[in-house]
Amino acid sequence: MRAARVLVLALLIGAPLAAQERGVRAGAVAYFASLGSASQKGYQSGTWVGLEGQVAKGRLALGVRGLRGTLGGDPVREDRDARQTDAWLTVRIQPWLQIGARGKAVAVSTSLANSVWRMYGAGASFSSAIGTPRLRGWADVAVYPITAVVASQNLGTPRSAEVGLAYRPSSAPVEFRFSYLLQTIDFKGALDQRLGGLLLVVRSAGR
């Protein structure tokens, strides 16, 4: 229910933003996240919500996304509050290809500790229309070789991948995105965490 309320709120915020200048995009994000590990049993999930915005000029685009939520439901682990911030600066090489620099910060808080992971790297996005220009599929991959950790184990090389579908209705300057986002965070102590889930975005349909 909380997710639904936040999504409605985000739509109310995103719709006016959708009417803004074409070079500016803004929207609401809901992330139905799950955190698990290939090497450990246990599974936590929760709903994160937030906002994203992007400014584009020519081939360049600068964007940021903020998410906040919880992870819980594992009887052997304490529930956590989580925040995630993503930032990107991309350049469009081809109509179907964008590459650029990425930055990501993940903060996880429990009653015992607050851990912050900061990651910097590069990524590429591929997109293409599928049958009709209003429906596009896209994939995004990124690696973060530069990391900084506060109050937690050092990281290996985090990676993220996202594949999804975007739809622009003809009746409104809005874009709906439906994707699966997987973030793999390897710790040098061999503990790997996989944060994945459905990502729903409603944003203005700018350039």
List phi, psi (to 5°) of 15. -60, -50
For the chain, the helix, strand and coil percentages under 3-state DSSP, each to the nearest 5 = 10, 70, 25
Looking at beta carbons only, is 25 or 177 nearer to another protein? Answer: 177
Q: How many residues does the chain have?
A: 207
Q: Give min distance, CB of 75 to another protein, in A.
A: 13
Distance in angstroms (rounded) separating the CA atoms of residues 25 and 171 = 18
CA angle 90-67-55, nearest 5°? 30
Looking at beta carbons only, is 43 or 114 nearer to another protein? Answer: 43
Looking at beta carbons only, is 68 or 194 nearer to another protein? Answer: 194
Q: Give min distance, CB of 62 to another protein, in A.
A: 26
Which residues contact another protein by CB under 8 A? 32, 34-38, 41, 43, 128-132, 135, 137-139, 161, 163-165, 178-180, 182, 184, 194-198
Looking at beta carbons only, is 40 or 110 nearer to another protein? Answer: 40
Q: Give min distance, CB of 102 to another protein, in A.
A: 18
Structure tokens belonging to residue 45: 């999930």
**Cα torsion 32, 181, 129, 62: sign:** positive
Looking at beta carbons only, is 135 or 148 nearer to another protein? Answer: 135
Q: Give min distance, CB of 169 to another protein, in A.
A: 14
DSSP string, 137-155: EEEEEEEEEEEEEESSPPB
β-pair partners for 174: 204
Looking at beta carbons only, is 17 or 80 nearer to another protein? Answer: 80
Q: Give min distance, CB of 137 to another protein, in A.
A: 4
Structure tokens belonging to residue 73: 């439901």
Q: Which helix (H) or strand (E) holds 31?
A: strand 24-36
Q: Give min distance, CB of 24 to another protein, in A.
A: 27
Structure tokens belonging to residue 148: 């900084």
